[in-house]
Amino acid sequence: MAAAAPPAEEQGGKWDRSYEVRAVLLLTLAFGLVGLDRWILPPLFAAQMGEQLGLTPADLGNLVGALGVAWGVSAIFLGALSDRVGRRKVLVPAVLLFSLMSVLSGMVTTLLGLMLVRIVMGVAEGAVAPTGVATAVEASHPRRRGFNNGLFQSAFALLGLALAPILATQLLKVTTWPYVFMVVSVPGFIVAALLWITIRDPMTMLTARAAPAAPLRAIFSHRNVPLAMFALLCAMSGIFVISAMMPSYLTGPASYLKLSVEQMGFVTSAIGFGGFLGLFGGPALSDRFGRRNMAVAAFVFSAVFLWLFLQTGADRQVLLFVFLFFAALANFAALGLIAGPIAAEAAPLGLMSSVAGIVIGAGEIFGGGVAPAIAGNIAQAFGIQYTLWFAMGGQLLGIAVALFFRETAPRFARVDETA
């Protein structure tokens, strides 16, 4: 069995709780801004941007997909880099770069220019994901590992998928879409400075840097690593197809339900509010009930509530919100578990960010990159409503994969060591 992730630094034999709190809160803010800068695009696209630039739903799918592929490739390589050079040296430049790309997203006016900007943004955001997971685990007491990772990841959904559609639609009442991109970039520059001041590398990393790189086979020594790669693909194919296509499913020229822009903002925000609770609650509850059990349950509930959403019409907006809320809650719970504690606890000592990067990278390239591009073309050819059935398929496949996870939660791991 692969070695468990190392704990955070201890000061004089006593746990440094103050550093744990400061580090996790800053990481939470940083990952929330990752979500905001990434997911402000679809509501702006549906409400104003797509029509003004003459873009189609397929273009939106390709934009979301290109960022996802870049994120995935970056997570693999820059996650591994942070194991060698340190967390802060990767985190801070990445936060600065994606904030700058948000500014540029409001300045370009062609599909090619926007595609290039979003690809660079994906590279920067892909570095934050595995490095942040590893940093949060290293800063956390083992008994709070799932809780803190859930908190860190939950901000992605809260700021990016709950508040982004509301913020976008409200700001569009007083300004235009280019300035919305610029407004949401400002906090990133402040958080980058605070990360540079606060984040430190644990002693286990400082001593590991001088050691030769572990062979690739060491990364895959725990069976949860390849399983997590495939399971995260399933989770992300649901999350990112739904998140990218939902505004256009609800409103706009090619929409299915024909809601107003304000109604779209309300219903779409359910993804973020549900995702926030799922990303936080899933990993936190898995500390008590087990990683495998929670992952299976999350995929099951996600599929059930997404099916209920698909049966609901435009005249029942509260029900649309409720069903989408619980579908997103469960789907994001699966994502948070797989990308966070399941990946981290499968990592050999000194390779935590490398393993998280490979798992997140695989999920992003195919689930966050290829899947939205496929969904965009499904929408173009057959209708926007069929993209959500495509997302449903990912959840059903995820149930089967999650059943094979080996349990690694600290309170259950000894029982499952020989599994």
Give the tens place of pLDDT for each residue, 30-55.
999 999 998 898 888 887 888 899 98
Tell me which residue of 73, 48, 51 sits closest to 129, measured CA to CA: 73
Q: Give residue 214's pLDDT.
A: 54
Q: Give residue 181's pLDDT.
A: 92
**Least confident piece of the model among 114-123, 209-218, 250-259:** 209-218
Q: Is residue 210 part of a domain?
A: no
The DSSP result for 219-248, as a single string, is HTSSTHHHHHHHHHHHHHHHHHHHHHHHHH
Q: Give residue 58's pLDDT.
A: 81
Q: Greater confidence, 350 or 238?
A: 238
Our count of domains for the chain comes to 1
Rounded to whole angstroms, the Cα distance separating 272 from 324 reads 10
Rounded to whole angstroms, the Cα distance separating 87 from 99 reads 18
User: Which phi and psi angles does 11 have, rounded to 5°?
Assistant: -110, 110
Q: Give residue 203's pLDDT.
A: 54
Average pLDDT in the chain:
84
For a pLDDT cut of 70, what percent of the chain falls above it?
91
Rounded to whole angstroms, the Cα distance separating 115 from 59 reads 9
CATH number of the domain within which 76 lies: 1.20.1250.20
pLDDT tens per residue across span 46-79:
878 888 999 887 888 788 888 888 988 898 888 8
Q: Residue 246's domain spans which residues?
A: 18-203+221-412
Polymer length in residues for the chain? 419
Determine the residue type at 34.
Answer: V
**Least confident piece of the model among 184-193, 250-259, 274-283:** 250-259
Does this model's pTM top 0.85? My answer is no
Q: Greater confidence, 100 or 282?
A: 100
The answer to whether the CB of 281 falls within 8 A of the CB of 265 is no
Q: Is residue 99 part of a domain?
A: yes
Q: What average pLDDT does the segment 263-269 reach?
A: 85
Q: What average pLDDT does the segment 124-146 reach?
A: 85
Distance of CA 250 to the CA centre of its chain: 23
Q: Give residue 13's pLDDT.
A: 53
Q: Greater confidence, 221 or 292?
A: 292
pLDDT tens per residue across span 187-219:
999 999 999 999 987 655 554 454 555 555 677
Q: Is residue 216 part of a domain?
A: no
58 burial level (CB within 10 Å; 0-12, 13-18, 19+): middle
Give me 42's structure tokens.
Answer: 């679809």
> Does the pLDDT at position 101 exceed 90?
yes
Q: Is residue 36 part of a domain?
A: yes
Q: Is residue 12 part of a domain?
A: no
Please count the other Cβ atoms lying within 10 Å of the Cβ belonging to residue 54.
9
For residue 327, the number of C-alpha atoms closer than 13 Å in the C-beta half-sphere is: 33
Determine the residue type at 99.
Answer: S
Rounded to whole angstroms, the Cα distance separating 387 from 20 reads 41
Using pLDDT thresholds of 50, 70 and 90, give the confidence band for residue 3: very low
Q: Is residue 209 part of a domain?
A: no
Using pLDDT thresholds of 50, 70 and 90, give the confidence band for residue 307: very high
Using pLDDT thresholds of 50, 70 and 90, give the confidence band for residue 415: very low
Rounded to whole angstroms, the Cα distance separating 134 from 236 reads 20
Give me 22's structure tokens.
Answer: 């400061």
Q: Greater confidence, 27 or 62?
A: 27
Q: What average pLDDT does the segment 336-340 reach?
A: 87
pLDDT tens per residue across span 363-375:
888 877 788 888 8
pLDDT tens per residue across span 228-239:
999 999 998 888
Q: Is residue 11 part of a domain?
A: no
Q: Greater confidence, 392 or 265?
A: 392
> Does the pLDDT at position 179 exceed 50?
yes
Rounded to whole angstroms, the Cα distance separating 272 from 160 reads 7
pLDDT tens per residue across span 369-396:
788 888 888 888 888 888 899 999 999 9
Q: Is residue 402 part of a domain?
A: yes
Task: Please give the C-alpha separations between residue 46 and each of 89, 169, 244, 316, 398, in angstroms, as whole numbers.
Answer: 37, 10, 10, 21, 30
Task: Please give the C-alpha separations between residue 361 and each of 76, 91, 131, in angstroms, as whole numbers.
Answer: 5, 17, 12
